[in-house]
Structure 1
C-alpha cells in the first residue's frame, strides 16, 4: 500500500479519499478497500501496466452482466502508469445456495456466439491469451491455449521430453474426442475456480472473468480442479443445460490446461498434478 501516496490518490475521480486499506484480492493485482466521498469501494491496482490492463476484465464483466450478477464497475483508468479498476463495495460470502449458482452458470453458457475466441487478445497477463477467432474448437484450444502453455513450460525447463511426449498423446486424444463431440461457442467465464464466485445477499455472483467464446465444458473442467463447487452445483447445471454424454472424460483436457497454467505461473509444485493427468492418456 505504500506505493499509493497521497499524491497518487488525489488523481482518483473523487473529491476526497478518507480511508484506504489492503484486502485480499488474488495473486494478480493489489487490492484495496477505499472510502471516498463517504462511500466504500473496492479498488484493484496493477502497477506499471496502464489502463489497458483492465479493459479485458471490464469487457468481460459487461458481457457477463447481461446474463448474471456481476460487480458494478464505477470506473477504471491510469495514474502514473498504474492501471486501476474501481467497483462498488460488496459484502461477499462464500456460503450460499449452489443450486442457484449452477442455474446462473447455465444461463451464462446459453449465450452462443458464431465462432470460438474473442474480438481482441489479452497480452498483459502472466500468460498472454491469443483469442483470434476460429470456427474449430479443437484448433482454438490446441493452438491458442494448450500448445502455447506447453511451449512456455519447455522454455522454463518445467517439463522434460518424456512429459512432452505425453502432452502430444493428449493432443492426439483430444482431436479424436472432438470428432464425436459437437462443440458450441458459449460465452465462458474463462477462469472459473472457487475464488471467482461468491454470494451477495444469498444470490450468486461471478467475479474476475477472463471471457471468450468456447466449449462450455472448459468452464466445467476448470471448476473441478481446486474444489469449492459441490454436487448441487453440477446437478443444477445439468438440469438447466444438460452436458453431452462423455463430459466427465473430456473435462480432463481442461483440468490439464488449468494445472499446466499454474505450473507455468507458479512453478514445480504443480508438476505432480499435471503428470497425474498426463498418465491417464
Structure 2
C-alpha cells in the first residue's frame, strides 16, 4: 500500500512527497486508520480497509466535499485523495489535531450544524446510495419527505431485519402499524430538504486545537434536519445549551421531543441489523410507544 500512497500523495501535492513516519491510531468496527508524517511537514490521516463495500470511500469523499461547502458549517477534513482503482481501499484526509472544547463549543457546534442544515436541494435523498456504517443507505430521490423517511429509511431497515430473521412476527407487525400511521406523527410544516451529516453520534464530532467544532465520518443525504439532532441524543445527549442555541437560529416545529424517537428508530434498526438481537428491546420500546 505504501507505493500506492506515494502515488496519491504525488498527485495531491503536485510533486513527490516522502512518508517519514507511519503511526497506527486504531480503528472502528469497519476501518483501520493511520497517521502519516510527510517530508513536507504535513500530517495526513488515512482510513483503509482491505475489502471495503463497493465505492465505500468514494461515497464518503463525496459527502465530505459537500459538507465542506456549507456556509458557516462545522469544520470538515479536506479530502486529499483516493487511489485510482475500481473500488478504492483507502481514503487520504487532512489531519485535524484534536483539542479541548472551550466554554462556547456547544453553542458554536449547534450554530454550525444549523449552517449545514441550511444547505438545501429540490429533493430528499442524494444523487447515489451510500452507507450508514457498513449498511447500504438508499437515497432514491423523493419530493415527499414522509415517503422518503418511511420507505428508504425505516421500511428498508425493517425488510433487511426481516430477511435476516431478526424481527419477531409480533414486532414486525407492530412496526407495520407504525409505518402506516407515520403521517399522523410527523410535523413537516415548513421543512425543506436539509444537508445532514447522517450519523451524528458522539464519536463523529470533536474540537480541534483551536476549539473549532469538527465533524467527520458522514452518512450524508438531504433529509429532515431533526434526524441529525435526534442522533445526538441516541447514546447520551449534548448539554441543553446546544439544543437551545440551535432552536434560536433555526427553530424546530413543536413536538420534536416525541418525534426524535421515531427518527432514532432508523439507527436502532440499523444497529439490530449490524450487531444483532441486543438491540431488539430498544426497537420494541420505540414501536410500543407509538402503537
Same fold (TM over 0.5): yes
Query: Per the alignment, do residues 180 and 121 of structure 1 end up closer, same or farther by CA in structure 2, a change over 3 Å counting?
Result: closer
Query: d(CA) in 2 for partners of 1:130 and 1:76?
Result: 23
Instruction: Indicate yes or no: 2:250 matched with 1:241.
Output: yes
- Report deviation, 1:79: 6.7
Distance 1:117 1:171, change over 3 A: same
How many pairs are equivalent? Answer: 277
User: What SS does the aligned partner of 1:128 have?
Assistant: strand
1:156 aligns with 2:161: no
Is the Cα contact below 8 Å between 2:76 and 2:214 reproduced in 1?
Answer: yes
| Counterpart Cα distance in 1 of 2:136 and 2:87 | 20
Instruction: Pick which of 126-135 and 177-186 moved more.
Output: 177-186
TM-score, normalised relative to structure 2: 0.87
Q: Which residue of 2 aligns with 1:13?
A: 9
- The Cα shift of 1:179 comes to 6.6
Deviation of 1:71 after TM superposition, in Å, equals 0.7
Residue aligning to 1:42 = 45
Distance 2:261 2:187 in 1: 16
Specify the SS of the correspondent of 1:142: helix
Match of 1:52 in 2: 55
C-alpha change, 1:50 and 1:250, in structure 2 (3 Å) is closer
The correspondence of residues 176-187 of structure 1 with structure 2, limited to 5 A, is: 176-178=184-186, 181-187=189-195
- Of the three residues 277, 280, 287, the one matched with 1:271 is 280
Structure 1, 40-49 or 70-79: larger mean CA deviation: 70-79
Partner SS for 1:101:
helix
Superposition TM-score, scaled by structure 1 size:
0.90
**Residue pair 2:53, 2:134 contacting (<8 A) in 1 also:** no
Aligned pair 1:98/2:101, yes or no?
no
Contact 2:82 2:88 (8 Å CA) reproduced? no
Q: 2:66 aligns with which of 63, 66, 69?
A: 63
Once residues 270 and 20 of structure 1 are traced to their aligned partners in structure 2, the CA distance between those partners, rounded to angstroms, is: 37
- Tell me: CA distance 1:20–1:79, structure 2 relative to 1, closer, same or farther (3 Å): farther
Q: List alignment gaps of at least 5 residues for structure 1.
A: none
Tell me, in whole angstroms, the C-alpha distance in 1 between the residues paired with 2:134 and 2:219. Answer: 12
**Within 2, Cα distance between the matches of 1:24 and 1:223?**
23
Q: Larger deviation: 87-96 or 62-71?
A: 87-96
Taking a change above 3 Å as real, the CA distance of residues 124 and 7 of structure 1, as seen in their structure-2 partners, is farther
Equivalent-residue separation in structure 1 for 2:286 and 2:232 (angstroms):
16
Aligned positions of 1:209-228 closer than 5 A: 209-228=218-237
What is the alpha-carbon distance in structure 2 between the residues aligned to residue 51 and residue 155 of structure 1?
21
1:134 CA displacement: 0.4
Tell me which moved more, 31-40 or 152-161: 31-40
| Counterpart in the other structure of 2:215 | 206
Q: Following TM superposition, by how much is the alpha carbon of 1:21 offset from its aligned partner in structure 2, in angstroms?
A: 2.1
Q: Distance in 2 between matches of 1:167 and 1:150?
A: 8
Specify which of 144, 147, 154 is matched with residue 139 of structure 1: 147
CA distance in 1, matches of 2:278, 2:245: 33
